[in-house]
Chains A and B, each alone.
Chain A
Amino acid sequence: MTLLEVKDLAVQFDTAEGVVRAVRGVDFTVEAGRTLGIVGESGSGKSVTSLAVMGLHRGAEVTGSVRFQGTELIGAPEETVRQLRGRRMAMVFQDALTSLHPYFTIGDQIAEAHQTHFGTGRKAALARAVEVLGDVGIPEPARRAGEYPHQFSGGMRQRAMIALALSCEPDLIIADEPTTALDVTVQAQVLELLMKIQQDRGLGIIMITHDLGVIARVADEVLVMYGGSAAEQAPAETLFSTPRHPYTRGLLDSLPRLDAADGDPLLAIPGSPPSLLAPPAGCAFHPRCGLYAAAPEAVRAACTGERPPLRLVAEDHRTACLLDSPSEGRITHQEVTA
Chain B
Amino acid sequence: MIGFLVRRVAGILLTLVVISAITFAVFYLLPSDPAAQFCGKDCSADRILLVRQQMGLDDPVTVQFGRYLVGIFAGQTLGSGDYAVHCSFPCFGYSYQSAQPVWDLMMDRLPASASLAVGAAFLWLVMGLAAGVVSALRRGTWIDRTLMVGTIGIAAMPVYFTAMVLLYLVVGQLGLIPYPRYIAFGEHPFQWIQNLILPWITLALMSAAMYARMTRNSVIETMAEPYVRTARAKGLPERRVVAKHGLRPALTPVATMLGMDLGGLLAGALITESLFGLPGVGKLFADSLNKADQPVIMGVTLLASFFIVTSNLIVDLVYAWIDPRARLS
Q: A and B, one complex?
A: yes
Question: Do the beta carbons of B236 and A112 come within 8 Å of each other?
Answer: yes
In chain B, positions 221-249 with a C-beta closer than 8 Å to chain A are 225-227, 229-238, 240, 245, 248-249
Measured CB to CB, the nearest residue on chain A to B248 is A103
**B323 at the A/B interface (Cβ < 8 Å)?**
yes
Tell me how far the C-beta of A97 lies from the nearest C-beta in chain B, rounded to whole angstroms: 9
Cα–Cα distance between A117 and B231 once the two chains are bound (Å): 13
Contact assessment for B325 and A82 in the assembled complex, using a CB-CB cutoff below 8 Å: no
Contacts of B17 in A (CB 8 A): none
A102 B227 Cβ-Cβ under 8 A:
yes
Measured CA separation A78–B239 after assembly (Å): 13
CB distance from B249 to the nearest CB of A (A): 6
Shortest CB distance A141–B (Å): 19
Do B227 and A101 have beta carbons less than 8 Å apart?
A: yes
> Interface residue tally of chain A, by bracket?
20 to 34
Binary flags per residue of B193-236, CB closer than 8 Å to A gives 1, else 0? 00000000000000000000000000000000111011111111
Q: Contacts A98-B227, A99-B226, A102-B227; is A90 near B324 (CB within 8 Å)?
A: no
Task: Verify if B322 is at the interface (C-beta below 8 Å from A).
Answer: yes
| Interface majority SS (helix, strand, loop, mixed), chain B | helix
Of B231, B236, B324, which is within 8 A of A150 by CB? B324
Give chain B residues whose Cβ lies under 8 Å from the Cβ of A117.
235
Select which of B225, B235, B324, B325 is within 8 A of A86 by beta carbon.
B235
Contacts of B323 in A (CB 8 A): 102-103
Tell me, in angstroms, the Cα distance from A54 to B229 when the chains sit together.
11
Whether the pair B234, A164 counts as a contact (CB closer than 8 A) is: yes
Chain B residues, Cβ within 8 Å of A93? 226, 229-230, 233
Tell me the nearest residue of chain A to B235, going by C-beta. Answer: A86
Q: Does A100 contact B325, Cβ atoms closer than 8 Å?
A: no
Interface residue ranges of A62-101 to B (CB < 8 Å) = 78, 82-87, 90-91, 93, 95, 98-101
Instruction: Report B-chain residues with C-beta under 8 Å of the C-beta of A13.
Output: none
Interchain CB contact (< 8 A) of A56 among B233, B236, B324? B233
Residues from chain A with Cβ under 8 Å of B248 in the complex: 103
CB B272 to nearest CB in A, in angstroms, measures: 36
A148 interfacial contact with B, CB 8 Å: yes
User: Could you say which of B225, B229, B234 contacts A113, with CB atoms under 8 Å apart?
Assistant: B234
Which chain A residue lies CB-closest to B229?
A56
The answer, yes or no, to whether A2 is at the interface (CB within 8 Å) is no
B237 near A82: Cβ-Cβ < 8 Å: yes
B229 touches A82 (CB 8 A): no
Contact A95 B226 (CB under 8 A): yes
- Return chain A residues, CB-CB under 8 Å to B229: 56, 93, 99
Q: Which of A85, A102, A103, A148 is the one whose CB lies under 8 Å from B235?
A: A85
Is there an interface contact between A98 and B325, defined as CB atoms closer than 8 Å? no
A112, B234: Cβ atoms closer than 8 Å? yes
A103 near B230: Cβ-Cβ < 8 Å: no
B227 to A54, Cβ gap below 8 A?
no
Chain B residues positioned under 8 Å from A148 (CB to CB)? 324-325
- Contact digits for A145-184, partner B, Cβ 8 Å, 1 yes 0 no: 0001010000000000000100000000000000000000
Instruction: Give bound CA distance, A112 to B236, whole Å.
Output: 8
Q: Is A116 touching B235 in the complex (CB atoms < 8 A)?
A: yes
Which residue among A112, A150, A164 has the maximum number of chain B CB atoms within 10 Å of its CB? A112
Q: Name B residues whose Cβ lies closer than 8 Å to a Cβ of A.
A: 225-227, 229-238, 240, 245, 248-249, 322-325
A residues with a Cβ closer than 8 A to B are 54, 56, 78, 82-87, 90-91, 93, 95, 98-103, 112-113, 116-117, 148, 150, 164
Q: Which 3 A-B pairs have the closest CB atoms?
A: A86-B235, A85-B235, A86-B234
Given contacts A102-B249, A148-B324, could you give 13 more A-B pairs where the C-beta distance is less than 8 Å?
A: A82-B235, A85-B234, A85-B235, A86-B233, A90-B234, A93-B226, A98-B225, A99-B229, A99-B230, A101-B245, A103-B324, A116-B234, A164-B230
